[in-house]
Amino acid sequence: MIENENIKIPLDVPAKSRNRYRDNYLRITKGRERLMLFAGDQKAEHLNDDFFGEGIDREDNDPEHLFRIAASSNIGVFATQLGLIARYGMDYPSVPYLVKLNSKTNLIKAEQADPRSPLWIDVPQVVEFMESSKLDILGVGYTIYLGSEHEGEMLSQAARLVYQAHQAGLVTVLWVYPRGRAVADERDPHLIAGAAGVALTLGSDFVKLNYPAGAEEDRADLFKEAVQAAGRTKVVCAGGESTDARLFLQRLHDQIHISGAAGNATGRNIHQRPLDEAIRLCNAIYAITLDNASVDWAYRLYSGE
């Protein structure tokens, strides 16, 4: 557990917002400086591909499935767009939220045009919504496609939103993915480390990165470069496509205890399962991330043994 006085509050958090920032940071990390982020922003990012089809439980096609999981599981924060929160949040006021400020669909492929994902809403609007709705909004998030010909626009927007969020005492998470026609291999570990460093220069509290490519036994070591390059910006790893639960939990354990990552941001691997199984997997991920549980113990928790 981290004590209040040991939190390094960024200098762009003004005196009037320091208590709110400290409280939000402690709550989003459960006082352990690690983040278990349940990602529910794919309704825009991947359209209905992640919610309906072979291997996906039919419950997942109902958007409320995301909120049922978030309300019934151990998580640090549930990240999704403000519109979804506005439509369902009145029935789930106990959920800790992170508002995703930008998104794009997957219809335009990188070989057709470089990705561009400008703001949908800005931080002052989030603050207004937080105050009027009385919901538990702890932070904001934003995606940058590094290497896109539009990266300048996204970097500029990210810099401003991190500053504005800190001014309001909110925690920030940047999704930073190398992607576009200038990027030969977006899973290159050295390039991912560069993306981590960019998130640090933007002043973000956390950065969500893809796990590098490579043999499974080597990936955790390769990811160390990104964790070190991020400095005081904490690294969380994207969950990726749905996979075997045991392999997923082992990979998460290695990311934290070998690479030195500070948590995970998981969506599809959780919400594509039936509600009861999704809750059990959420709790197993939380146990590894926040409670330093072993893979065996977490897998038993997931299995219901």
Residues classed as catalytic? 177, 208
- Inter-residue contact 226 to 195 (CB < 8 Å): yes
CB neighbours (10 Å) of residue 153?
Answer: 15
Residues 184-221 as b/e (b if ≥16 CB within 10 A, e otherwise) read eebbbbebbbbbbbbbbebbbbbbbbbbbeeeeeebbe
Task: Tell me whether strands 137-146 and 171-178 are parallel, antiparallel or unpaired.
Answer: parallel
| CA 43/CA 61 separation, integer angstroms | 10
Task: Tell me whether strands 137-146 and 77-81 are parallel, antiparallel or unpaired.
Answer: unpaired
Task: Scan for tokens 């982020």, then name that residue.
Answer: 37
